[in-house]
Chains A and B, each alone.
Chain A
Amino acid sequence: MNRLDLTRTRWTNFLIRNRWPQFLIRAITLAGFIFTILAGLLGSVVGSHNFAIIFVWIAWWTALKLFFIPFGGRSWCSICPIPMPGEWIQNGGILQPRGKNFGLGKRWPKFLRGRWLQAGGFMLVGLFGVITLTSPSVTSIVLLIILLLAFVLALVFERRSFCNYLCPIGGFTGLYAQAAPVEVRVKNPEICSTHAQKSCYEACPWGVYPLALKSSANCGLCMECLRVCPSDNLAVNLRPWGSDLGPETKHSLDEAFLGLVMVSSALMDSAIFLGPWGQLKMAAYAIGTGSWFLFAGLFLVIALMLVPGIYTLAVWIANKLGEQKMNLRKALAHQSQVLVPLGLTAWIAFTISFALAKFSYVLPVVSDPFGWGWNLLGTVAKPWVGQSTLTSMLLQVIVLALGQFWSSRVAIKISGSLKQALPMIVFSAMTMVGMLWLLIG
């Protein structure tokens, strides 16, 4: 077990444990969030001149995929402004742990649990993606709805029900956090077993009991548990990438579905936003028209039938080739771990191609966030038209190859034999070739 516990170093321990640093960042992200909503509603309708579009879809979305998730797992959730207002009301204060709860504190209905709604939400974002990505006001309205929904749900349901079961971003970050190099874990399980109060569980906004944590998918890295533990028994570890993926971890069907939706979305977004097919883009944009329904149908067929179908076939063959047979349902869940490095690297490659080319838009909108002709910082200049240079393509090739390496390794690790891993390796190779073709073909 090669772990580096950040609570053992004085200054990192201070930064993590003290509520102020986190609160300050949260205050900034919340202010930024509200500013973004205002900019989108009041500012220029030209997307590339509006802070909302550039900040949400280029700066934040890129940072999430290239920085927060690969290096920090759910670290974004630790500073996310969306659940904050609701959580403050729930706790009856800002700088204190979960305690006497305001709100109804109902339990989230059983039949809505799991990752299904998150996956569905992500698919919806994909279906309406082109319009959200180009219209500042639509982006703002979506953000506003998310903020209000999280707030209202916090009043009705207990803890972070919105984050756990609805937030599409949470689905995305949670899935890939399993591959990330950060985890919160119990230092010594024996201490926990003698501690009847379970203060950490009581304090966890996510409803997680740290002793039972096997995977980082559901841990929002909020650090509440280690602030309340009387025995200082929680560690924040740096760990090798992909630590949660292996033969022993438990997985369920909804995770497979989420993983597949993410993979299909990476492929679809690459085709829509980076492909030469104008008809496709326009169909995706013209919501409500016949061509949009055609597009939506195509999207759903790919995301719900084609990709899951090929995946199921691969898992079925793998299962046939194995010595001990699982039932198909179990095998589908178990093999879904292959989708984690696969999807993560596919998204990173897409992001490199898509966003690096557009990054030159960021500075001008900081200087003129509403697109009203201001120049606050003197950084308004005509952004050069994005160029995906050779370096960027090489990077994409390398990232995709790393993804192939990584997902093949996971496939072999979780299978009984190399032979049994082959169908999954072929599945990830098909995805990778698809990405290669769309991005640099």
Chain B
Amino acid sequence: MMEELLSTQEELNHQSLQTKWRLMVLISQCALLILFLPIPLVTPKPIDRLIHIDATSFQFTPAEIKVNQGDRVTIEFVSTDVVHGISIDGYDFQLTSDPGQPVTGTFVASWPGMFRFRCSVACGNLHPFMIGKLWVGPNLILIRGVLLGILAVVAAIFSLKKSKVLKTGKTS
């Protein structure tokens, strides 16, 4: 009698352990999908854009720029006080402007996402934090991040539900 009980008990534990593993695999698959599933987007027809950026210690104006993927972006960059530069993370793009001397440069916004641009010439104390943001197309990684967060909550709930079964299985 006792032994029989024990073996069903073990069976139960084994089963819930298996479902737990299955669940974990499922959740990690979902996570990978959320992170890497390519999303076909209708990108608007690429256009040429001219954007004027002022640099003043320690602020770009405008510091937030939105373009569409594929756009040919020409930046007209001018410093208003000391020598400043601009370089965009992830893009091979760099300009340096002497005070009052506008310079221009062009790049094609082929990578989607959010990219910080920074001052590239040491210009003073706050130089390392002289930052702006460029968005190319919709910011998919932000959306993916939020979805992944939701999945994380679901995973947390399920991971504990199963272990409760395990626990009661053990103690009862």
Contact = CB atoms under 8 A, between A and B. Distances in A.
Tell me whether A and B are bound partners: yes
A409 B87 contact: no
A401 interface: yes
Given A388-B89, A404-B156, 14 more contacts: A47-B128, A135-B125, A273-B129, A276-B133, A281-B59, A282-B126, A285-B125, A387-B89, A390-B113, A393-B141, A401-B145, A425-B153, A436-B149, A440-B145
A433 interface: yes
Interface string A377-407: 0000000011111100110011011101110
Interface string B137-170: 0010110111011011101110110000000000
Interface in A311-354: none
Interface string B27-38: 000010001000
Contacts of A418: 157
A399 B137 CA distance: 24
A438 to B, nearest CB: 11
A130 interface: yes
B131 interface: yes
A400 B127 CA distance: 28
- Of B64, B128, B159, chain A has the most CB atoms within 10 Å of the CB of B128
Given A387-B89, A393-B141, A405 B153 contact: yes
B60 A281 contact: no
27 contacts: A130-B129, A276-B64, A277-B63, A278-B63, A281-B130, A285-B125, A285-B126, A358-B128, A385-B120, A386-B89, A388-B116, A390-B90, A390-B113, A394-B35, A400-B145, A401-B145, A401-B151, A402-B152, A404-B149, A405-B152, A406-B156, A408-B152, A409-B156, A409-B160, A412-B160, A432-B149, A440-B142
Contacts, number: 121
B152 A401 contact: yes
A272 interface: yes
A281 B126 contact: yes
Contacts of A437: 142
Contacts of A281: 58-59, 126, 129-130
B21 to A, nearest CB: 17
Nearest to B128: A48
B70 interface: no
B122 interface: yes
A134 B59 CA distance: 16
Nearest to A275: B131
Interface of B: 31, 35, 56, 58-60, 63-64, 87, 89-90, 113-114, 116, 118, 120, 122, 125-133, 139, 141-142, 144-146, 148-149, 151-153, 155-157, 159-160
A95 interface: no
Please give me the 6 A-B residue pairs with the lowest Cβ-Cβ distance, nearest first. A278-B59, A408-B156, A405-B152, A276-B63, A404-B152, A401-B148
A412 B122 contact: no
A387 B159 contact: no
A258 to B, nearest CB: 24
A413 interface: yes
A441 B144 CA distance: 11
A397 B141 contact: yes
Interface of A: 46-48, 130, 134-135, 272-279, 281-282, 285, 357-358, 385-390, 393-394, 397-398, 400-402, 404-406, 408-409, 412-413, 418, 425, 429, 432-433, 436-437, 440-441
A130 B129 CA distance: 9
Given A135-B125, A285-B125, A436 B142 contact: yes
A409 B130 CA distance: 38
A401 B130 contact: no
Contacts of A441: 114, 139, 142
- Of B120, B130, B148, chain A has the most CB atoms within 10 Å of the CB of B148
A410 to B, nearest CB: 9
A400 B149 contact: yes
Given A281-B126, A405-B156, A433 B149 contact: yes
A440 B90 CA distance: 14
B59 A387 contact: no
A397 B146 CA distance: 9
B149 A429 contact: yes
Contacts of B64: 276
B144 A130 contact: no
A440 B139 contact: yes
Contacts of B156: 404-406, 408-409, 412, 425
Contacts of B63: 276-278
Contacts of B116: 274, 276, 388
Contacts of B146: 433, 436
Contacts of B127: 48
A107 B129 CA distance: 44
A277 B59 CA distance: 7
